[in-house]
Structure 1
């Protein structure tokens, strides 16, 4: 994926303009990858830049930032999951995408899972530590998590930031990411931003999504830290078509274990491309 091949667009939805990046390589791709970031603050394009670079030969790439994130508009419309999915679906429909594979991190996982259960054009999910009902209290109260991540407490803020940094980020990228994140956090702490209201709706949205398991026809690859494997086998993201790969020791495995993640993903894609779901 060359910088020159990436285009930044806005989709005019009734609820506000949705920012998205596109890198297209084929008029008839085998896969259309849609990237959804977690709650970290980076735009999806920057959050997945290295991983996307490795996936670009496999299909076209679409990086979507829901309203209130990245450079997408603020909105007064509710952040319940049905509204967010309707906004995503309007953009995806406008792009006429089929053979969709969502690549999502953390909170992005609930949107990817529920979208795949609601609409028919999704053939796979690649999920990096998606949130679960169990993980609601995991980060503070689970001893396995505390043990697995305590090495981060030994790092200075600068060292920790360097560890979680995407290797493809340029100086200009870092400057833009910092600016977007600062604006997002500033709006969040005012308590009246779209991002704030999305956070307030998170438990409700998670409970709604957790009422159903992943569609049996949807293939999923879950990439997680080793101590979370059992959690994901019990989760809404797991079905008979699922694979779980364990690696690394951070919540940002798509950035800290990119090459290992890519190997797992390419194997997963080979499995999907050999079955009848690809049109």
Structure 2
């Protein structure tokens, strides 16, 4: 064998060794990933089953479309406030707890958990504004609640404006907590619903939530409430009903585009003062109240969830506003 042939043979042997090592490394990485995903999935299943037994019921079930909708009622005031959550708020009645505690000495407060949220059942019915509004109204009818102030957070501004247009004779006022506006920009984007569904089913969503910042840190919630909210969040986040609602966000905003609140309806809007995502956030809300006979915008420093930190101020301003509106 010539020197050249020996060199080629040696190089070939080295290449085979390197290739073999690389294949082993790649195989080990693949096995590690599969094992990791398997552990994450199994942990999620076990944790979900365990937490399901530790979730404590609250509120009461109301039959709507043959399913159970959970509603929490607190307080015995002559006037009633109906609370509606923002999109994706996993445990509405508990999320509103700090505000409910401030309002309930003066009002009868009714926190509705739409299908897919909190302790309510899920549903296969499309999450259009029409269906969501109709279901909430049916729940209130079942409870013989026929006259009330409607108060809603975030996307409840879209459902609320439609609700008022349908049931104006029942609603005494609308109060928005950093509520959505039909004409706000950026609501026509396509959302990665399939990816979010995969995150939920694989258990990766739970892991991300556990590793992420605690959303309740430094807030006034007691430890037991925080524990319950977290367990229900793991259960409810990105469920099929909420993902269906996500898929309808763009069309629901489009459907509300030309709707306005009635001029004679008292309209109070609490608005985040420092919304960096939408520069015209405050003017958009000012535009909603400009033609109201009794309308007011109150800006507040805080996160989108203003009721987590400004619950006392919100309750005080609601009471003062409604006294002025009479």
TM range (shorter): 0.7 to 0.9
Unaligned segments of structure 2, at least 5 residues: 1-56, 188-210, 275-280
Shift of 1:170: 2.5
Residue 260 of structure 2 corresponds to 213
Q: 1:42 offset after TM fit, Å? A: 3.5
Structure 2 counterpart of 1:63, from 94, 100, 111:
111
1:232-257 deviation line (CA, Å, top 9, x unaligned): 12248973321100111311111122
Cα RMSD of the aligned pairs, angstroms, is 2.5
Establish whether residue 247 from structure 1 lines up as the match of residue 296 from structure 2.
no
In 2, distance between residues paired with 1:219 and 1:81?
22
Structure 1's 10 and 160: CA in aligned 2 closer, same or farther, altered over 3 A?
closer
Query: d(CA) in 1 for partners of 2:312 and 2:153?
Result: 16
Q: Quote how far apart the aligned CAs of 1:20 are.
A: 0.9
Matched, 1:32 2:99: no
Deviation (angstroms), 1:13:
1.3
Deviation at 1:82, TM superposition (A): 0.9
The correspondence of residues 119-268 of structure 1 with structure 2, limited to 5 A, is 119=167, 120-137=169-186, 158=213, 161-163=216-218, 165=219, 167=220, 169-185=221-237, 187=239, 193-226=240-273, 228-235=281-288, 239-268=292-321
CA distance in 1, matches of 2:323, 2:178: 22
> Is 2:149 the partner of 1:101?
yes
Normalised to the residue count of structure 1, the TM-score between the two structures is 0.78
* Structure index of larger Rg: 2
The 3 A distance-change label for structure 1 pair 161 and 7 is closer
Q: Distance in 2 between matches of 1:208 and 1:238?
A: 21
Whole-Å separation in 2 of the counterparts to 1:69 and 1:160: 18
The C-alpha deviation readout for 1:182-223, integer Å capped at 9, x for no partner, is 122253xxxxx0110011111111121222111222111100
| Structure 1 runs not aligned, ≥5 long | 1-5, 139-155, 188-192, 275-279
Q: Is the 8 A contact 1:212 1:236 kept in 2?
A: no
Number of equivalent positions:
241
The match for 2:190 is none
Per the normalisation by structure 2, the TM-score is 0.68
Q: Which residue of 47, 57, 64 corresponds with 1:13?
A: 64
**Aligned partners of 2:155 and 2:180 also within 8 Å:** yes
SS of the equivalent of 2:61 reads strand
Q: Deviations over 1:145-168 (max 9, x none)?
A: xxxxxxxxxxx95475425x3x2x
- 1: distance between equivalents of 2:73 and 2:103? 13
User: 2 CA distance for matches of 1:194 and 1:159?
Assistant: 25
Deviation digits for residues 62-121 of structure 1, max 9, x if unmatched?
110111111111111111111111111111112222331112100122222211111120
**Alpha-carbon offset, residue 266 of structure 1:** 1.8
Structure 1 Cα separation of the partners of residues 108 and 242 of structure 2:
28
